[in-house]
Amino acid sequence: MKFIPSPWKGEGKGEGRARESSCAVSRTSSSGFSRSSAARLPRFTLTLTLSLKGEKGREDRNMRITFILPYAGLSGGVRVLATYARRLKERGHDVRVVSTPRKPKGLRDKARAFISWAGWNPSHGHGSHFDSAIEHHVIDGWRPMVDADVPDGDVVVATWWETAEWVWNLSPRKGTKVHFVQGYEAFGSQPTQRVDAALALPIDKITIAQWLVDLLKLKAPDARVTLVPNSVDLTQFTAAERHKQRKPTVGMIYTPAHLKGCDIAIEAFRLASPNIPGLKLMAFGESEPDASVFPPGTSYTRKPAQKDIPGLYASCDMWLWSSRAEGFGLPILEAMACRTPVIATPAGAAPELLAGGGGALVKPEDPEDMARAIERIARLKDPQWLELSAAAYRTASRFTWDQATDLFESALVTAHNTPMTARTRAAI
């Protein structure tokens, strides 16, 4: 990652381009969930045909796609963006990323807010999920991006409420404007009115959970919103079939962030443990918690290597997800992919992910209800637990990155082919 001032200044001036493109999508779905039978989640059959005709020598299936990010660190949200960037490039698209550098000290609220929505690893280091295969330019400071910072293209994707403001003000030659929404970002010190105004902009939206689809329909009634659920890498997050342990182990991810609700999970464990002899707690996370945070005997791993995380999930008989607010909740899928049943509050995509079994959905802000769920799973006989574990794995196996990339790519094509009707711009 390097600083390159105005790498695309003046590109594409005077270009005139004619394009013809088409996209056909067919979707079939099935429902009818039960704990005792294989969970059936919506199934998609996608047929994508893209033709972009313009400059001589361009590939028919090739789009020029630019992702606009704030600081591109090691958050789960950025990991999702990097996954799409890599996979779209592998499909032949010209993918570029433009981001700001890290904010100066004292101005870190927005960066912290951005990393709080997805994934467990809010690293404060200076790495990035974007590898050298993706062209990545970092502008010369934390400031609104302008035309000189962004290459001409077919689609330009905002990834955070401020970047939606910046993208809205870019010239049309930068591409059709799309907003990828991974959470409702009006929290902490974020200005709610500006966040809502950014969501209301008349550009296509892609989002990751049904609750966000519903929210966007309220904030932007005329917007075209596409649901593309996050997925899990089943080559990384996987575990062999196993039996319930004689002394059950409860797992969780720890972070001091209030929104993540770790206090709820820890209190639930405290309430359940006197009723389940030998019940153990295992946790991992980024920070170093105070010794008083966890009950005695807790096993805590700080900053585990990525290759070791599936084993941590698989060492548990149930996984606690106690978030107060969430965009999606990738660790739910990661735990399920490792055959670990999940007990979750109804934040993010948890209601959809647990609708077919594989765990339990509990009341928000209710450690007692979570404790009861811990006790129920801990008391299951081995055949019953194996059934729950298998249901969790079946759920995770239906969320593949191939399918998600099909849907994401289709949404970009649709936006490019039939952009929303231009409206009078309101000053932001």
Q: Which has the minimum average pLDDT: 23-32, 216-225, 334-343?
A: 23-32
Question: 191 and 304, same structural domain?
Answer: no
Q: Which range of residues forms the domain containing residue 257?
A: 249-397
Q: Are 219 and 198 in contact (CB under 8 A)?
A: no
Domain check: are 381 and 358 in the same one?
yes
Residue 74's pLDDT band (boundaries 50, 70, 90)? low
**Domain assignment present for 219:** yes
**pLDDT tops 50 at residue 39:** no
Torsion angles phi and psi, residue 225, rounded to 5: -115, 130
Mean pLDDT, rounded, for 92-120: 66
Beta carbons within 8 Å of 297's beta carbon, 6+ residues apart: 280, 281
pLDDT surpassing 80 at residue 203: yes
Residue 352 inside a domain? The answer is: yes
Domain identity same for 171 and 109? yes
In a domain, 8, yes or no: no
Q: Is residue 67 a contact partner of residue 85, using CB atoms and an 8 Å limit?
A: yes
Q: Read off the pLDDT band of 306 (50, 70, 90).
A: confident
| Residue 54 in domain | yes
Whole-number Å distance between alpha carbons of 208 and 329? 10
Q: How far is CA 78 from CA 74, 148, 195, 218, 329, in A?
A: 6, 24, 19, 26, 14
Q: Is 288 exposed, middle or buried (0-12, 13-18, 19+ CB in 10 A)?
A: exposed
Q: Are 300 and 409 found together in one domain?
A: no
Judgement on whether residues 378 and 408 belong to the same structural domain of the protein: no
Q: Are 65 and 78 in contact (CB under 8 A)?
A: no
**Paired strand residues for 301:** 284
**Joined tokens for residue 160:** 């955070």
Question: Is residue 13 a part of any domain in this protein?
Answer: no
Residue 221: CB partners within 8 Å, gap ≥ 6? none
State the pTM of this model. 0.77
Do residues 307 and 339 both lie within one domain?
A: yes
Residue 269: its H or E element: helix 262-272
Q: Does residue 9 form part of some domain?
A: no
Answer whether residue 422 is part of any domain.
Answer: no
DSSP string of 55-96, one letter each residue: STT--TT--EEEEEES---S-HHHHHHHHHHHHHHHTT-EEE
Same domain, 157 and 219: yes
User: Higher-confidence residue: 193 or 30?
Assistant: 193
Nearest in space to 295 (alpha carbons), one of 304, 282, 277: 282
**One domain, residues 156 and 255:** no
Banded pLDDT at 222 (limits 50, 70, 90) = confident
Number of domains in the chain: 2
CATH number, domain containing residue 71: 3.40.50.2000
- The verdict on residue 187 lying in a domain is yes
- Tell me the chain's radius of gyration from C-alpha atoms: 22
Q: 290 and 205: one domain?
A: no
SS3 164: helix
> Quick check: 6 pLDDT over 50?
no
Q: In terms of domains, do 322 and 196 share one?
A: no
* Same domain, yes or no: 101 and 112: yes
Q: Are residues 218 and 258 in the same domain?
A: no
Residue 45: strand pairing partners: 26
Rounded distance between C-alpha atoms, residue 76 and residue 78, angstroms = 5
Q: How far apart are CA 213 and CA 364, in angstroms?
A: 21
User: Confidence class of residue 61 from pLDDT cuts 50, 70 and 90?
Assistant: low
Q: What is the pLDDT of residue 344?
A: 98
363: left (phi over 0), alpha (psi -120 to 50) or beta: beta
